[in-house]
């Protein structure tokens, strides 16, 4: 009876610690976390072979660089705490040597306990920071979700599906489809947009929010698509840190009555237009990414859509998804999936496409945000 109680408590403790994950899942998660942490710290390590250093010397040199890469991520106060803890742990040794008379001398210095306590305090501080940051990021994620459409809108003549996966908690990718106010004497139209802010995580997400705000505000005016993109570019240049924080974007205007799509590709990955016949066109007319040059010129182009035509618009996280061998998913594989699912609905094809990306990547970490939008003319 007592044995079953102990076993039950151990089982509950284990499930609480692991969140019910299997050992294989825990190992996979550990590998991903370890690779991510190593990439973070190794960016500041110069692995170039140093002339005159032996293999052991090079190893020590790399270890010292790696140590400082870790230490410098801490605040100065916590660096001191870590160094004191390491000194105490180093001194907590039990050694022996033989004296001149042949008798063994044993030394024991008991600083190990205090070194461990200091490391525990440091760990608690770092965990506290992580919890606060995680809470703030979760709020940012919820806000970002409000900025993006959760379900595709009803657009005459089009079947639509879209999805996004952030590489971190928040993303720098953007997508949306919404109606534009009709100018006098013109047909009602819909604006189609997909964009990718340079960078990842919080900085990219903040700039994505400014892009969304400028797009929604400026598109309410009765202007041509070229004027709209030019004004968005002018605004983006005020937030781009001299072009370092640029945004690639594909912005199009769909006219349901004429079944035409007028578009501008501002440095974005070329969307693929796959005709019902199987031929493929790249939608590449446009200009520079937004935020690079204030007076950058932009060209537009118009394509006629017929029933059965597909448009796949995506960010570089789709075709640049890597597997464990560091091979990229690639545009050819994406096109193969489009041809394979040409007779299905955009929602089913998008689900299959994301599953294929997962199968290709296996357990490799996701390096970039993944966003894809599929449009099918009906």
Quick one: which of 353, 354, 352, 357 has its CA closest to 323? 357
pLDDT of 310 above 90: yes
Determine the average pLDDT of the residues in 219-233. 93
DSSP lists the bridge partners of residue 105 as: 97
For residues 133 and 179, state if they share a domain.
no
Residue 376: phi and psi, rounded to 5, are -125, 125
According to the model, what pLDDT value does residue 52 have? 64
For residues 358 and 261, state if they share a domain.
yes
According to the model, what pLDDT value does residue 2 have? 65
pLDDT of 220 above 70: yes
Determine the average pLDDT of the residues in 323-331. 92
For residues 194 and 275, state if they share a domain.
yes
For residues 250 and 347, state if they share a domain.
yes
- 165-179: per-residue pLDDT in tens? 888 777 788 999 999
Percent of the chain residues past pLDDT 90, beyond the cut = 43
Structure tokens at 365: 């970490």
For residues 141 and 157, state if they share a domain.
no
Q: What is the Rg, in whole angstroms, of the alpha carbon atoms belonging to the chain? A: 28
According to the model, what pLDDT value does residue 94 have? 47
15 in a structural domain: no
Average pLDDT value over all residues in the chain: 83
pLDDT of 284 above 90: yes
Determine the average pLDDT of the residues in 51-55. 67
224 in a structural domain: yes
**Number of separate domains in the chain:** 2
The side-by-side arrangement of strands in the sheet containing 280-282 is 158-165, 370-377, 310-314, 272-274, 280-282
57 in a structural domain: no
For residues 123 and 242, state if they share a domain.
no
For residues 189 and 83, state if they share a domain.
no
For residues 244 and 130, state if they share a domain.
no
Residue 372: phi and psi, rounded to 5, are -140, 140
For residues 81 and 158, state if they share a domain.
no
Q: Are 174 and 195 in contact (CB under 8 A)?
A: yes
Q: How sure is the predictor about 248, in pLDDT bands with cuts at 50, 70 and 90? A: very high
DSSP lists the bridge partners of residue 281 as: 273
pLDDT of 99 above 60: no
For residues 204 and 289, state if they share a domain.
yes
30 in a structural domain: no
Distance CA 154, CA 298 (A): 29
276 in a structural domain: yes
Q: What is the CATH number of the domain that holds 228?
A: 3.60.40.10
Per-range mean pLDDT, top range of 21-25, 138-142, 186-190, 300-304? 300-304
For residues 166 and 116, state if they share a domain.
no
194 in a structural domain: yes
Determine the average pLDDT of the residues in 265-289. 96
Determine the average pLDDT of the residues in 236-258. 87
69 in a structural domain: no
32 in a structural domain: no
Structure tokens at 173: 């990718």
Residues 6 or more apart whose Cβ sits within 8 Å of residue 327: none
Q: Is 255 helix (H, G, I), strand (E, B) or coil?
A: strand
Q: Are 377 and 338 in contact (CB under 8 A)?
A: no
* Residue 229: domain span: 151-377
For residues 293 and 360, state if they share a domain.
yes
Higher pLDDT, 15 or 124: 15
């Amino acid at each position: 009876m007592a044995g079953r109680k102990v076993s039950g408590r151990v089982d509950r403790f284990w499930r609480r610690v692991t969140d019910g994950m299997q050992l294989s899942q825990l190992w996979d998660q550990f590998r991903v976390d370890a690779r991510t942490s190593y990439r973070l710290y190794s960016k500041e390590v110069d692995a170039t072979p140093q002339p005159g250093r032996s293999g052991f010397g090079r190893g020590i040199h790399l270890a010292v660089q790696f140590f400082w890469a870790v230490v410098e991520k801490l605040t100065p106060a916590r660096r001191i705490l870590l160094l004191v803890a390491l000194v105490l742990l180093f001194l907590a040794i039990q050694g022996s040597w033989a004296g001149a008379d042949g008798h063994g001398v044993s030394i024991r210095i008991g600083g190990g306990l205090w070194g461990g306590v200091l490391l525990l305090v440091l760990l608690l501080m770092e965990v506290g920071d992580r919890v606060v940051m995680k809470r703030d990021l979760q709020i940012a994620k919820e806000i970002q979700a409000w900025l993006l459409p959760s379900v595709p809108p009803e657009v005459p003549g089009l079947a639509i599906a879209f999805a996004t996966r952030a590489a971190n908690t928040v993303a720098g990718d953007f997508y949306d489809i919404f109606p534009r106010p009709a100018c006098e004497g013109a047909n009602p139209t819909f604006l189609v947009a997909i964009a990718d802010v340079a960078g990842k995580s919080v900085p990219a997400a903040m700039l994505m929010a400014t892009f969304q705000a400028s797009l929604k505000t400026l598109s309410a005016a009765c202007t041509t698509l070229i004027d709209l993109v030019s004004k968005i570019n002018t605004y983006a240049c005020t937030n781009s840190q001299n072009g370092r924080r640029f945004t690639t974007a594909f912005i199009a205007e769909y006219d349901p009555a004429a079944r035409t799509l007028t578009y501008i590709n501002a440095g974005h990955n070329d969307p693929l237009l796959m005709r019902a016949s199987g031929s493929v066109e790249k939608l590449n007319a446009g200009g520079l990414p937004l935020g690079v040059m204030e007076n950058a010129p932009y060209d537009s182009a118009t394509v006629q859509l017929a029933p059965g035509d597909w448009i796949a618009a995506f960010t570089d996280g789709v075709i640049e998804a890597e597997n464990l061998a560091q091979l990229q998913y690639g545009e050819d594989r994406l096109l193969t999936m489009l041809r394979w699912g040409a007779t299905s609905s955009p929602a089913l094809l998008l689900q299959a496409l994301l599953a294929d990306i997962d199968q290709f990547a296996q357990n490799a970490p996701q390096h970039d945000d993944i966003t894809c939008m599929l449009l099918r003319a009906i």
